[in-house]
Amino acid sequence: TPRVFSGIQPSGALHLGNYLGAIRRFAAMQDKGMETIYCMVDLHAITVWQDPADLAQSTRTLCAGYIAAGVDPEKSILINQSQVPEHAELAWVMSCVARMGWMKRMTQFKDKAGKNAEKASLGLFVYPALMAADILVYHATHVPVGEDQKQHVELTRDIAAKFNHDYGVDFFPLPDPVIEGTATRVMSLRDGSKKMSKSDPSDASRINLMDDADTIAQKIRKARTDFDALPSEAAGLEGRAEARNLVNIYAALSDRTLDETLGEVGGLQFSEFKPKLAELAVAQLAPISDEMRRLLADPAEIDRILAAGARRARDITGPILGRAYEIIGMIRS
Ligand code: TYM
C-alpha cells in the first residue's frame, strides 16, 4: 500500500516555495486518503548552527504552518524528527551502507558548503543518509518534494537497493519522488536564476507565509521582470525566467495549468498582472498566516500534537528498525 513521507527543516521562515512545492501538496495527498507522515526535521536543521531558543520556536512555527495549510494531525501523522529516535538510529545504519563517492556527488552539499567544505559540519555531509533513514524507517513509497530534493530521493533509492542487495533481502521498498505541478521550483523574486530560499539574505527575494498583505503586495510589485507583455503561449516564456516564475506562481495559486493561466493573463503588461498576482497571493496566504498565529498562541497544544504524533509514528518505526537490526545480525534480546 502506498505510504507518503516528507519533511521540512525548521530553520528560518516558511516561504512560498515551501508552501507551493511542498506543504500544499502534502495536504492534497492526505485528502486523497493516502497514508501520510509529515515531519519537522530538527536534526537536519542543526547541520548548520541554530540558536537553541530559535530552533524550538521554528519547530512550533513549522508545525503551525503544516496545520494551517491543511495537514490534519488526525488524518496525517505529524512529527518532529528528534522525538522519533528511530530516524537517527537507522541513519547510522544508512551511513554505513552509503558510499563516500555517492555523498560527494550531492549538489546541495556543494552549494551549502561552498568553497570552504573543510569547515562544514560532518552532519551537513552525511545529511542525505539521515534523509534516507527518515523515508525508509516507514517503508514509505512516495516522497512529495520540490525539484531541489530529487537527487536526495534518488540517493535514498540507491541506499535502499544496496541494503537489500548486501543482506540478500527484499526489505526496503524503493521510494518514488513525487514532483508535480507548476511550482516544483519557485524562483527568487529578485533573480530568476536562483531558487526562492530561506537562506537568501534578501528578504525581498521571497514571500514568507507570515508576511502581511502589504508586504506581499510590495514584494510582488518590486519583483524583477523584463519589459514585454505576457505571452499567450508557454513557448513565449522561453528565456524569460522572471516572467515564467511569476506566471508559474499564479498558475499554482489558482490551481491551473500553465496553458490555462496564459489563456487568461496572456497579453497583460506586468503593471496589470502584478496586482492580480498580489491579490491572489494575499487571498490564499492571509488565512494561513492568521491560522498560524492563532495556533502559535497555544504552544502547549502544539507540543501535545507532536507528542501524540511521535507515539503513532513509533508504532511504525519501532518494528521496522528492529527488523533491520535483525537482518544485519544485531542481538535483539
Ligand atoms: P527544505 O526544508 O529545504 O524544503 C522543504 C520542502 O520545500 C521544497 N522547496 C521548494 N519547492 C519549490 N520551490 C522552492 N523554491 C523550494 N524551496 C524548498 C523542498 O523541495 C522540500 O520539499 N532535506 C529536506 C527535508 C527532508 C526531507 C526528508 C524531505 C529531510 N528528510 C525526507 C523529504 C523526505 C530539506 O532540506 O527540505
What pLDDT, on a 0 to 100 scale, did the predictor assign at position 65? Answer: 97
Q: Measured from the CB, is residue 94 less than 6 Å from ligand 1?
A: no
Between 117 and 244, the more confident residue is 244
Domain range annotation of the chain: 3-178+298-328, 203-293
Q: What percent of the chain has pLDDT over 90?
A: 96
Asked whether residue 12 carries a pLDDT value surpassing 90, the answer given is no
What pLDDT, on a 0 to 100 scale, did the predictor assign at position 116? Answer: 86
186 is in an annotated binding site: yes
Asked whether residue 1 carries a pLDDT value surpassing 90, the answer given is no
What pLDDT, on a 0 to 100 scale, did the predictor assign at position 289? Answer: 95
Q: Measured from the CB, is residue 18 less than 6 Å from ligand 1?
A: yes
Instruction: Compute CA 147 distance to the chain's CA centroid, rounded to the nearest angstrom.
Output: 10
Mean pLDDT of 204-217: 96
Q: What is the strand order of the sheet 35-40 is part of?
A: 77-80, 35-40, 3-8, 142-144, 176-178
CATH class of this structure's domain 3-178+298-328: alpha beta
What pLDDT, on a 0 to 100 scale, did the predictor assign at position 292? Answer: 97
Question: What would the pLDDT profile of 236-252 be if each residue is shown by its tens digit?
Answer: 999 999 999 999 999 99
Catalytic residue IDs: 112, 195, 198
Contact 26, 6 (CB under 8 A): yes
Q: Which residues of 230-243 are buried (b: 16+ CB within 10 A; e: fewer)?
A: bbeeeebbeebbbb
Strand 35-40 with 77-80, pairing:
parallel
Question: What would the pLDDT profile of 140-170 be if each residue is shown by its tens digit?
Answer: 999 999 999 999 999 999 999 999 999 999 9
CA angle 234, 204, 196 (to 5 degrees): 50
CA 75 to each of CA 43, 67, 80, 144, 314: distance values in angstroms, whole numbers, following the listed order: 24, 11, 16, 17, 16
Instruction: Examine domains 3-178+298-328 and 203-293 and report if their fold is the same.
Output: no
What pLDDT, on a 0 to 100 scale, did the predictor assign at position 216? Answer: 97
Q: Measured from the CB, is residue 42 less than 6 Å from ligand 1?
A: no
Mean pLDDT of 68-82: 98
Model confidence at 281, in pLDDT bands (50, 70, 90)? very high
Q: Measured from the CB, is residue 11 less than 6 Å from ligand 1?
A: no
84 is in an annotated binding site: no
- Which numeric CATH code is attached to 203-293? 1.10.240.10
Residue with cell 490564499: 284
- Collect contacts of 254-257 with beta carbons under 8 A, ≥24 apart: 254/280, 257/182
ipTM: 0.99
Query: Rounded to an integer, what distance in angstroms lies between the CA atom of residue 262 and that of residue 114?
Result: 38
Model confidence at 333, in pLDDT bands (50, 70, 90)? confident
Closest atom, ligand 1, to C-alpha of 147: 20
11 is in an annotated binding site: yes
